[in-house]
Amino acid sequence: MPGRACSDPEELKSFNVDWLKSVRGCSELLLKPKTAAEVSQILRYCHERNLAVSPQGGNTGLVGGSVPVFDEIILSTALMNQIISFDPVSGILVCQAGCILGKLNEYLEERGFIMPLDLGAKGSCHIGGNVATNAGGLRLLRYGSLRGTVLGLEVVLADGTVLDCLASLRKDNTGYDLKQLFIGSEGTLGVITAVSILCPQKPKAVNLAFLGCQDFSRVQETFTTCRAMLGEILSAFEFMDEKCMELVEKHLGLSNPLRGSPFYVLIETSGSNSSHDEEKLNSFLEQAMTSGLVTDGTVAVDDKKIKTLWSLRERITEALTRDGCVYKYDISLPVGKLYDLVTDMRARLGQSAKNVVGYGHLGDGNLHLNITAESYSHSLLDAIEPYVYEWTARYNGSISAEHGLGFKKKQFIQYSKPNEAVFLMQRFKAMLDPKGILNPYKTLPSSP
């Protein structure tokens, strides 16, 4: 692969460290294959020689899953960025793993469709990485998870075998659904080289409402009311606490159009008829205002204002990294319990944390709990963990709703999965990657 194998330490630097700068490897080799056949050759070679490989997409992961831990060879999908086909009748897109999510969405928008997922990292994350981590994001409430929308995958196994399950069919019940095992396996079972995905039509009308609520119980009730009244056009229901808003204002200079609410919610509708959608949204807003669920609010229909309001939510992660050292938790909980964890943690940590904030995809029961501090400290970490995981396990939650386990959370899997399940996962890993060359030290605790 002339010009596509790199061993220059300077160039390797950014591939060795994750976006949060929390995990750093010391790989001395970066490979950029262009085809599944090249990936197959690489893995066959590495398999024969027991060389470890760390597959990497856009390197936007938040749990240290996308960078080497030691000197693993980095296999980047950056040059696997070709769109293979798009069928406007079925809405099925087939593309290589290294296509950037945002670029795919632009390509589709020109054809009257959109990607079924959307993330803050869309400008750099790769679709292969999205699938490998089963990314959730902002549209899950409406279009469901990648487990439903991904129709086929091409995967290269540890020994170099190319598994071509790149079907473009909505329905196929011929044998076990192998692709599911690779979705969310964080590159530990195989390297995803191409994806077939079902894309929804671009909605003709999009409306956004940004609202203020006086307490979390009103946030919840706003959600159930809005789900009932907006029904099939509801496409996002995000919430954030006032601390989040303070941070995006302070660190990014964004301006909050509302004031003085302890909680904010962002509601998006997407539909095929703008006057119907506006009518539904207005009658919901009237109901929410008159019943006191919502005390303040603003609505956007034009693209520019929609983008501005969305950035208040999407850029929280960025604002947090500017606030200091960040301890990130991505928790699934019953909606009623969601914010109690933030309140509890704030009280528990007191002055030892700089900020404790909560935001996330309320409609999916997904809380992003983030704690910032001036610098990294073992005593602060000990005050947070395993408390946060025990708290989550007590309510049968998930300690990783959408970020995955990667390097940083793998030892906590037992808080969300029984031993029998972890043991079975380890058997799958041993069967598919007997030499353990694929993304080692990630996802699963070592076998006993």
Q: Which residues inside 180-199 make contact with a copy of itself, applying CB under 8 A?
A: 180-181, 183-185, 189
Q: Which residues inside 32-91 make contact with a copy of itself, applying CB under 8 A?
A: 87, 89-90
Pairing of strands 234-241, 205-213: unpaired
Residue 207 found at the interface with a copy of itself (CB under 8 A)? no
Q: C-alpha 447: how far from its chain's center?
A: 27
Residue 133 vs 370, nearer CB to a copy of itself: 133
Q: x/- binding map, residues 402-421, to a copy of itself, per CB under 8 A?
A: xxxx---x---x--xxx-xx
Query: Judged by CB under 8 A, which stretch of 5-13, 240-248, 288-296, 395-403 contacts a copy of itself?
Result: 395-403
Residue 427 found at the interface with a copy of itself (CB under 8 A)? yes
| Residue 172 CB, nearest approach to a copy of itself (Å) | 4
Residue 250 found at the interface with a copy of itself (CB under 8 A)? no
| Residue 15 CB, nearest approach to a copy of itself (Å) | 23
Q: Which residues inside 139-178 make contact with a copy of itself, applying CB under 8 A?
A: 140, 144-145, 147-149, 161-165, 167-178
- For residue 6, what are its two tokens? 């790199």
Residue 40 vs 105, nearer CB to a copy of itself: 40
Residue 431 found at the interface with a copy of itself (CB under 8 A)? yes
Q: How far, in Å, CA of 445 to CA of 448, rounded?
A: 9
Angle (CA) 83-86-89 rounded to 5° is 175
The answer to whether the beta carbons of residues 116 and 143 sit under 8 Å apart is yes
The answer to whether the beta carbons of residues 124 and 100 sit under 8 Å apart is yes
| Residue 236 CB, nearest approach to a copy of itself (Å) | 14
The answer to whether the beta carbons of residues 58 and 100 sit under 8 Å apart is yes
Residue 394 found at the interface with a copy of itself (CB under 8 A)? no
Instruction: List the beta bridge partners of residue 334.
Output: none
Burial of 259 (0-12, 13-18, 19+ CB in 10 A): exposed
Binder to a copy of itself among 224, 282, 291, 343 (CB under 8 A)?
224
Non-local (6+) Cβ contacts of 311 within 8 A are 254
Binder to a copy of itself among 11, 215, 232, 286 (CB under 8 A)?
232
| Residue 181 CB, nearest approach to a copy of itself (Å) | 6
User: What number of other Cβ atoms are within 10 A of residue 165's Cβ?
Assistant: 17
How many residues line the site for a copy of itself (CB under 8 A)? 87
Instruction: Look up tokens 């610098």; give the residue.
Output: 375
Q: Which residues inside 337-376 make contact with a copy of itself, applying CB under 8 A?
A: 361, 364-366
Query: Judged by CB under 8 A, which stretch of 72-80, 122-130, 231-239, 295-303 contacts a copy of itself?
Result: 231-239
Q: How far, in Å, CA of 289 to CA of 412, rounded?
A: 43
Residue 384 found at the interface with a copy of itself (CB under 8 A)? no
Q: How far, in Å, CA of 360 to CA of 397, rounded?
A: 15
Residue 325 vs 362, nearer CB to a copy of itself: 362
Q: Which residues inside 254-313 make contact with a copy of itself, applying CB under 8 A?
A: 270-273, 276, 279-280
Please state, in angstroms and as integers, the Cα–Cα distance from residue 276 to each residue in 270, 272, 320, 371, following that order: 11, 8, 38, 41
Residue 75 vs 233, nearer CB to a copy of itself: 233
Binder to a copy of itself among 336, 394, 434, 447 (CB under 8 A)?
336
Binder to a copy of itself among 53, 233, 338, 437 (CB under 8 A)?
233
Q: How far, in Å, CA of 48 to CA of 36, rounded?
A: 18
User: What number of other Cβ atoms are within 10 A of residue 370's Cβ?
Assistant: 27
Non-local (6+) Cβ contacts of 37 within 8 A are 162
- For residue 214, what are its two tokens? 């006086």
Residue 123 found at the interface with a copy of itself (CB under 8 A)? no
